[in-house]
Amino acid sequence: MTDLQIAGASLAVILLLVLLRMPIAIALLGVSFGGIWIAYGYQIATAMLTAVTFDFSTHSSLSPIPMFLLMGFVAYYARMTEHLFNFARTSFLKRLPGGLAVASIGGAAMFSAVTGSSLACAAALGRIAVPEMLRSGYQPGLATGVIAAAGTLGAMIPPSLILLLFGIFAEVPIEALFIGAIIPGLLTAFAFALMVVLRVWANPALAPRPSDEELDGIGRTGLREIWPIILLVVCVFGGLFAGFFTATEAGAVGAFLSFVIAAANGNLSWTVTKRALVDTIVSSAAILIIAMSATFFASFLALTQFPAFISQIVADMQLGRVELMIAVFLIYIVLGMFLEVLGIMLLTLPVLLPLFEAMDISLIWVGILVAKYLEMGLITPPVGLNVFVIKSVVGRTVPTDVIFRGITWFVATDIVVIALLIAFPALTLWLPGFLD
C-alpha cells in the first residue's frame, strides 16, 4: 500500500470505530500509531508518538482551557448562574409573545459568557426554565426545543471551548476568535428570539400569555443578584479584549474572581470547591487527551501527504470560498448526525486546514463558521447531545421525538444565520480588525 492509501484506510477505520462508539481519543491515537507503524516502521511510530505528545503537553497555549473551565464550574456550583433566567424574565421580555422562551435565550447567552459549555448551559437552564414554561402552558416542543437550541450558544459566545481548541489547533490568536464570535453569537441569539416571537405571535396557543396579575407578581426578582456575573464577564473579557490579559491570564483572573465573588456572596464552601475542582480536572483531562490524539493524527496525515493530496483535488475543482464553506457545512452536517462535536472538529481539521490556508481564507472566519456548524450538530438527530441533556432533565414528561420536532425551527434559523455569515464575512471579521 502507498502512504496515501494507508492514510485513506486509516481515516475510514477511525470513522468506523467512532461509529461503533469507541472513544475518539483511543481511535485517533491507536489508528494513527498503527498507520505510521505500517508505513514507516515501529521505531518511527514510537519516536513520533513520544515527540508529539511531549510537545503538545508542554504547550503553553493549553493553559486557558482548565482555567476557563474552573471559572465556569465555580460560578455554576456557587449558584452565581441561578438568577440569570430570572433576570432575563423580569425585564421587558416578560411582556413579549413567548416571553419565557425569549428569556431562556437571553439567560443562555449570559450563561455561555461564563461557562463556555453548551452542555452545561442546556443542563442548567433545562432544570430552571423548562418546568417553568410547562407550568405556564407552553407547548412541550417549544419549551424543550428552545432550551436545547439556546444551549448551543455556548459554542459561540466566549469563552467557547470549541473556539479555544480551534485556536490552539489552528494556531489562531484566542482573543481574535473570541471577539470575532461576539457578533455571530448575538446574531444567533437575536435570530432565535425573533423566530420565537413571530411564531407565538402567529399562533398564541404555543405560549399562552400570563395574566396581568401574574406579570405584576413576577416583579423585579433577580435584578440585584445578577451583578456578580456582570462583574466577572466585564473584568475577564474587558481585560482580554483591551489587551491587558493574554487568554491564559484572562482564564486565571476569571477563575480567581469566581472564587472571590462566591466567597463574598457566602456561597463558597468545601463542597462547592471540591465539585468545581473535580469537574475541572476530569473535563480538562478528557479534552486535552482528545486534542493530543488529534494532534498526533494530524502529524500522521502530514507525514503521508494526505492533506496536500486533498488540497490538490479541491484546487482542481476550482471551488470558490463560498462554495468551499458550503461543502464543509454539508460535511459537518452529515458527520454531526453520528459523531460528537469535538471528535468531528479534531478529526476534520487536519484535512481541512491546509485547504483554507492554500486558498488564503481567514482562519478567524473559518473558526467561527466551524463553531456554528458544530453548534448545529448538538441539536440534529440522531445524536443531538443537547436534546438528550434536556431529555434527561424532563424525563418521561416530554418524549424525545417531541423535543426533536421542537428544535426543527431553530435548525432552520441556524441555517439562515450561517448563510448570512458566509455571505457577509465582515460580520465576523469587523471586530477582530480592531486588534491589529
pLDDT digits (tens, 9 = 90+) for 10-61: 888 887 887 787 877 788 888 889 989 988 888 888 988 888 888 777 766 6
Structural domain contains residue 41: no
Instruction: Report whether 102 contacts 193 (CB < 8 A).
Output: yes
CB neighbours of residue 280 within 10 Å: 21
How do residues 88-115 score in pLDDT, each as one tens digit? 666 655 667 888 888 888 878 877 777 6
- Tell me the whole-structure pTM to 2 decimals: 0.79
User: Is pLDDT above 60 for 166?
Assistant: yes
Average pLDDT, the chain: 82
- Give CA separation, 54 vs 59, 169, 390, in Å: 9, 15, 39
Give the rounded distance of the alpha carbon of 13 from its chain centre: 26
Highest mean pLDDT pick, 116-125, 158-167, 209-218, 280-289: 158-167
Structural domain contains residue 35: no
Structural domain contains residue 123: yes
Residue among 346, 386, 351, 354 nearest 120 (CA): 386
How do residues 330-373 score in pLDDT, each as one tens digit? 888 877 766 667 777 877 888 888 888 888 889 999 999 999 99
Out of 100-104, 128-132, 373-377, least confident range: 128-132
Residue among 351, 364, 299 nearest 56 (CA): 299
Structural domain contains residue 238: yes
Kindly state the helix (H) or strand (E) to which residue 203 belongs, with its residue range.
none
Total domains in the fold of the chain? 1
When pLDDT is averaged across residues 54-76 and rounded to a whole number, the result is 77
Instruction: Report whether 88 contacts 110 (CB < 8 A).
Output: yes
CA distance 20 to 25: 14
Burial group, residue 4, by CB count within 10 angstroms (0-12, 13-18, 19+) = middle
User: Is pLDDT above 90 for 387?
Assistant: no
Burial group, residue 63, by CB count within 10 angstroms (0-12, 13-18, 19+) = middle
- Its domain, for residue 403, covers 63-435
Strand ranges inside 76-154, DSSP E: none
Give the rounded distance of the alpha carbon of 141 from its chain centre: 23
CB neighbours of residue 324 within 10 Å: 18
Long-range contacts of 322-330 (CB under 8 A, 24+ apart): 322/422, 322/423, 324/355, 324/356, 324/359, 324/361, 325/366, 325/369, 325/422, 326/422, 328/352, 328/369, 328/370, 328/373, 329/369, 329/373, 329/418
C-alpha cell at 407: 428544535
Structural domain contains residue 6: no
Give the rounded distance of the alpha carbon of 434 from its chain centre: 24
How do residues 245-258 score in pLDDT, each as one tens digit? 777 788 888 889 88
C-alpha cell at 324: 468551499
- Rg (Cα) of the chain, in Å, rounded? 22
Structural domain contains residue 27: no
Structural domain contains residue 401: yes
C-alpha cell at 254: 476569571
- Give CA separation, 77 vs 67, 231, 261, 283, in Å: 15, 18, 12, 15
